[in-house]
């Protein structure tokens, strides 16, 4: 059956080093997709839930893995500020150009930047309260996802929020229209990202493999899924 299994075909961004201009245009598209098609809201919905257990005056520390241009960290800081919470976010990415643009666009207090390989995160155990990621897990194999979840669990004192695309034929068809006026990289990598993404049932299977019973996988509007939860 078509798309019954994940694709592992490499994306252009996985095998090429685009020009800075091309890469920046890609991140502009990713930011728009996150904002208008459920990525930001999927992450914030979990933090709305988590925040019910926060104490007045405490500072919440978040690590965002594979941050790209750091649109999710900015959204988290803006959300926290409106609700009177103190929140710092460290944006981690291996791409120095992405972090450079993120610094230029930051504009908010409470954001820090760290260049590192996600598969070898240089963070001590319990260094952050929460670890997040957006539009990153579909780049990983199933085995890597289980390993990264385990690493995130070690770094996070309280919980994890992963949001990504949910694989389906209708999502792939929608992407064909959305990417019509994008550059060559987005036109290729956008639809391919959907074919590489998990379904909710597959995500639940990987959670079971990880042994992290506090996590759950859920579907969200606009073909999104989250792997998320908070420790007891």
1 lies in some domain? no
How many distinct structural domains can be found in the chain?
1
- Check residue 168 and give its pLDDT: 93
- Check residue 213 and give its pLDDT: 97
2 lies in some domain? no
Mean pLDDT computed over 222-226: 95
Model-level pTM?
A: 0.93
6 lies in some domain? no
3 lies in some domain? no
- Check residue 127 and give its pLDDT: 96
**CATH number, domain with residue 190:** 3.40.50.150
* pLDDT tens column, 74-114: 999 999 999 999 999 999 998 888 888 888 876 657 899 99
* pLDDT tens column, 31-50: 888 888 888 999 999 999 99
- Check residue 62 and give its pLDDT: 98
Sign of CA dihedral 200, 144, 212, 30: negative
Q: What percent of the chain has pLDDT over 90?
A: 68
- Check residue 1 and give its pLDDT: 54
148 lies in some domain? yes
* pLDDT at residue 2 is higher than 70: no
Range of 127's domain? Answer: 12-230
203 lies in some domain? yes
């Amino acid at each position: 059956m078509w798309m019954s299994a994940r694709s592992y075909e490499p994306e252009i961004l996985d095998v090429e080093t685009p020009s800075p201009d091309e890469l920046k245009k890609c991140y502009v598209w990713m930011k728009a997709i996150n904002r208008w098609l459920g990525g930001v809201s999927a992450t914030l919905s979990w933090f709305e839930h988590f925040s019910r257990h926060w104490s007045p005056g405490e500072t919440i520390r978040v690590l965002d893995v594979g941050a790209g241009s750091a649109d999710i960290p900015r959204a988290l800081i803006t959300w926290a500020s409106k609700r009177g919470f103190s929140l710092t976010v460290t944006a981690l990415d291996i791409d120095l150009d992405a972090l450079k643009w993120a610094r230029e666009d930051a504009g908010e207090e409470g954001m820090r930047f760290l260049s590192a390989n996600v598969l070898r995160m240089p963070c001590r155990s319990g260094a952050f309260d929460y670890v997040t990621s957006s539009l990153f897990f579909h780049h990983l194999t199933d085995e890597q996802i289980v390993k990264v979840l385990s690493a995130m669990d070690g770094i996070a004192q309280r919980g994890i929020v992963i949001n990504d695309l949910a694989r389906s034929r209708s999502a792939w068809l929608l992407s064909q229209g959305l990417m019509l006026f994008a550059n060559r990289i987005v036109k290729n990598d956008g639809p391919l990202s959907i074919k590489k993404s998990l379904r909710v049932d597959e995500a639940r299977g990987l959670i079971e493999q990880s042994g992290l019973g506090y996590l759950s996988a859920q579907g969200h509007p606009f073909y999104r899924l989250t792997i998320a939860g908070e420790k007891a």
